[in-house]
C-alpha cells in the first residue's frame, strides 16, 4: 500500500472507532489535530507518515473511559497497524508517540529523549486545547462532570503532579490556570508557538470578559 492509502485506511478506522465518542475526543478533535499536524510538519524535518498515523491514532482509546488503563490506546493502535502491515520502524515510533502524548504524562517530568515527530503531534494536540475550541472543550468536559463554571472561593492549583491532575475536580475556570494558560510555553515548534500565541491571547481576553460579566462590570 502507498503511504496515502495507509492514511486513508487509518482515517476510516478511526472515524468508525470514535463514532460514539464524547465531544472533547471525537473524530472532529482528531481531524483538527491531524490538520494542525500537517501544517506544523510542513516546516519540520519529520517523517510525514509517522506524524499522520500518530495524530490519527493518538486518542483511539481514552484511559478515562477504560478504568484508567493507560496501555489500551497504544495497544489498539499497535494491533490496527499490524493489520495494515505497517513497517516495523514506523509501527514502533507511532506506538511510542501514542503512549507519551498526554499532558498528564508530561507532568511526571520523565519524558526522556523525544523525537521531533512526537513534538509535532503534541503541539498539534495542545493547540486544540487552546483558543475558542479549547474553551468549548473545557466547558464541555466540566459539564460532562457536572462541575460549576466558576467559584471565586476555590483557588486554582498550580504545579500539580499527575495524580493530583487526574483527581482534580475544581470549577472549569480553574482548568485555565491549571493547564490551558500553561500550554503556550510548552510548545516545541515555531509554527506551534505562533498559533499558540494567538490562541493564548484570545483566552486571556475571554477571561477578562468572563470576570467583568461575573461581577456586573459589563
- Helical spans, DSSP H, in the chain: 3-17, 27-41, 48-57, 72-84, 88-100, 103-107, 116-127, 131-144, 162-167, 172-178, 190-214
Site for Ni ion (CB under 5 A): which residue of 41, 125, 138, 203?
A: 125
For ligand ADP, what does the binding mask look like between residues 149 and 168, x meaning CB under 6 A? Answer: -------------------x
Residue 134: name its binding partner from Ni ion, ligand ADP, none (Cβ under 5 to 8 Å by kind).
ligand ADP
Residue 191: name its binding partner from Ni ion, ligand ADP, none (Cβ under 5 to 8 Å by kind).
none
Residue 91: name its binding partner from ligand ADP, Ni ion, none (Cβ under 5 to 8 Å by kind).
none
Site for ligand ADP (CB under 6 A): which residue of 37, 102, 119, 189?
A: 102
Decide: helix, strand or coil at residue 184: helix
Which cell numbers hold the place of 127? 493547540
Residue 102: name its binding partner from ligand ADP, Ni ion, none (Cβ under 5 to 8 Å by kind).
ligand ADP
Q: Pick from 29, 31, 26: which is nearest to 11 by CA?
A: 31
Angle among Cα 95, 100, 103 to the nearest 5 degrees reads 145
End-to-end CA distance of the chain: 58
Site for ligand ADP (CB under 6 A): which residue of 13, 24, 78, 99?
A: 24
Residues that bind ligand ADP (CB under 6 A): 24, 102-104, 129, 134, 137-138, 141-142, 168, 172, 175, 179
Residues that bind Ni ion (CB under 5 A): 59, 125
Amino acid at each position: 500500500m502507498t503511504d496515502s492509502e495507509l492514511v486513508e485506511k487509518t482515517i476510516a478506522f478511526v472515524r468508525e472507532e470514535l463514532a460514539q465518542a464524547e465531544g472533547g475526543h471525537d473524530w472532529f478533535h482528531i481531524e483538527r489535530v491531524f490538520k494542525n499536524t500537517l501544517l506544523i510538519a510542513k516546516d519540520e524535518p519529520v517523517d510525514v507518515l509517522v506524524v499522520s498515523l500518530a495524530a490519527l491514532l493518538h486518542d483511539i482509546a481514552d484511559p478515562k473511559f477504560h478504568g484508567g488503563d493507560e496501555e489500551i490506546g497504544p495497544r489498539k493502535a499497535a494491533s490496527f497497524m499490524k493489520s495494515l502491515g505497517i513497517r516495523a520502524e514506523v509501527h514502533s515510533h507511532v506506538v511510542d508517540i501514542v503512549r507519551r502524548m498526554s499532558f498528564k504524562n508530561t507532568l511526571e517530568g520523565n519524558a526522556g529523549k523525544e523525537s521531533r515527530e512526537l513534538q509535532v503531534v503534541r503541539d498539534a494536540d495542545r493547540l486544540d486545547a487552546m483558543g475558542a475550541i479549547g474553551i468549548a472543550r473545557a466547558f464541555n468536559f466540566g459539564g460532562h462532570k457536572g462541575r460549576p463554571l466558576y467559584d471565586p472561593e476555590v483557588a486554582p492549583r498550580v504545579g500539580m503532579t499527575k495524580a493530583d491532575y487526574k483527581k482534580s475536580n475544581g470549577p472549569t475556570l480553574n482548568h485555565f490556570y491549571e493547564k490551558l494558560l500553561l500550554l503556550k510555553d510548552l510548545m516545541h515548534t515555531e509554527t506551534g508557538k505562533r498559533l499558540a500565541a494567538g490562541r493564548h491571547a484570545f483566552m486571556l481576553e475571554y477571561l477578562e470578559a468572563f470576570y467583568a460579566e461575573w461581577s456586573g462590570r459589563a
